[in-house]
Amino acid sequence: MDKKFIAVIGGGQCSKEEAKLAEEVGRQLARRGAILVCGGLGGIMEAACRGASSEGGTTIGILPGDDSQAANPYVQIPIVTGMGYARNVAVVKSAQAVIAIGGSYGTLSEISHALQSGIPVIGLNTWSLSRNGRQDKSIIPAQNPTEAVDKALDLITKKSRE
């Protein structure tokens, strides 16, 4: 399997600026042949799926609840877990790299689960971390959607060569 799966994570509610970023990330992922994984709901997730769909990309939504109808209209493959926030673990584990946009504590939990599993996280206007007063630089910053997608794809390519 040489397909690339990239998760886009972020809040179920977001600003217009964040939605634009997410939509552009989705479009570029699709153009470059990557499959989009997300939590399947609104906000950043919906914007990213809309972008990917508009370019003919594939979108997977791993949902917290019991109903596939809760997926945003651009999710092509709804995965229905019925496991609440525990599904956040599956969102990031199903991806080879994660792009975080904005986001609140749910997003932070996904960033953490990704880093705990050794999955690289690229951040666009998102959390930054420090531990015991020292900055933790695990979240790789990107200035814009293109840079975020470039970095995510490069990291996957590098890892697959290891």
**What is the binding site for a copy of itself (CB under 8 A)?**
1, 3, 5, 35, 60, 62, 66, 68, 71, 73, 75-86, 89-90, 93-94, 102-106, 108-109, 111-113, 115-117, 125-133, 138
CB of 30 to a copy of itself, least distance (A): 15
Half-sphere exposure (Cβ direction) of 143: Cα atoms closer than 13 Å: 0
Helix axes 16-31, 145-161, angle to 10 degrees: 40
CB of 121 to a copy of itself, least distance (A): 10
Nearer to a copy of itself, 51 or 106 (CB): 106
Rounded distance, CA 36 to CA 48, Å? 8
Nearer to a copy of itself, 26 or 106 (CB): 106
Residue with tokens 């990917």: 52
CB of 12 to a copy of itself, least distance (A): 11
Neighbours of 89 (CB within 10 A): 18
> Residue 9: in which H helix or E strand, if any?
strand 5-10
Under DSSP, the state recorded for 132 is T
Nearer to a copy of itself, 26 or 40 (CB): 40
CB of 90 to a copy of itself, least distance (A): 4
